[in-house]
Amino acid sequence: MKIRKRLILDGEVQGVGLRAFAKRLALRLKLKGCARNLEDGTVEIYIEGESARIEQFKTTLRADQTKSMGIVVEKITEWEEGMEGFGTPPPYKGFKIIYDHEVEPAMEELLERTEMIVLGGQELKMTVNEGNKMLGEKIDSMHHDMNERFDRIDAKYGILSETLMGFMAEFRNFNAKLDEHNRKLDLIFERLVSLEEKRKGE
C-alpha cells in the first residue's frame, strides 16, 4: 500500500551529504519525496511510496554503514499523512532537494552536484578506512603466522643452530690466528728481500 510520511531526522545530518544520500536511496527504492535542512539543525524529508520500502529507507538511513560515512541519524520522528504534524509538503517530482531560498534550475543542479561530491568524499573515506582496517588485520595475521613458524623452526633446529654458532665462533678465532701468521710471514719476507738487496750492493 502506498503511503506518504513526514520525517524529521536529528543528529549529525547537515553538511554531511545526507540529502544527496536520501535522494539516491529514495530513487533506488522507487520512492518519491523531498528533503530540506531546517533552521534547528535537523533535516525534514517527505517520502511517498510503498510502506515496506519506506521502512527500508528509514532503516538504511540509520545503518552502521551510513554512520561510517559520517551521516549519523540519531532519531527519526515521523507523521503519516492525515496525522497532526504532517504539515503541507512542498511540490516535488521524483525526489527533490529543497534549498533555503529559490534558485535557478542551473544553480539548483550545481548545488545538488556539490552535495553529491560531499557524499562521494564520505564514501571514499569509508572505503579507505575499511581498506586500512583489512590491511592491518592481514598484516597482524601474517606477523602471527611468521612468529609461529619461527618458533617451530627454533624448537626443531635449536640444537643445530647452537652447534653452528659455536663452529662459526671457532672459525673466526682460527681466521684471526691465520691473519696474524700471514702478517709475520710478510715481515719475514720483507726482511729477506732487504737482506738480498743489501748483499747485491756489496
Delimit the domains of the chain by residue range.
2-102
Burial pattern 139-164, b for ≥16 Cβ within 10 A else e, equals: eeeeeeeeeeeeeeeeeeeeeeeeee
Instruction: Read off the C-alpha cell for 39.
Output: 533552521
Q: Is residue 29 over pLDDT 80?
A: yes
Spatial distance between the Cα atoms of 94 and 30, rounded to a whole number of angstroms: 9
Spatial distance between the Cα atoms of 73 and 10, rounded to a whole number of angstroms: 6
What value does the mean pLDDT of the chain take?
78
Q: How many CB atoms lie within 10 A of CB 53?
A: 17
Higher model confidence: residue 177 or residue 139? 177
Asked if residue 155 lies in contact with residue 94, where contact means CB atoms within 8 angstroms, the answer is no
Read off the pLDDT of each residue in 169-185 and give the average, rounded to a whole number.
68
Catalytic residue, chosen from 19, 28, 53, 172, is 19
User: What is the pLDDT confidence band of residue 186, given thresholds at 50, 70 and 90?
Assistant: low
Is 37 among the residues known to form the active site? Answer: yes
Read off the pLDDT of each residue in 168-190 and give the average, rounded to a whole number.
67
Q: Is residue 171 over pLDDT 80?
A: no
| CATH 3.30.70.100, domain 2-102, yes or no | yes
Read off the pLDDT of each residue in 70-92 and give the average, rounded to a whole number.
93
Q: Is residue 37 over pLDDT 90?
A: yes
Element (H, E) at 38: none
Catalytic residue, chosen from 36, 37, 129, 182, is 37
Higher model confidence: residue 174 or residue 34? 34
Q: Is residue 17 over pLDDT 70?
A: yes
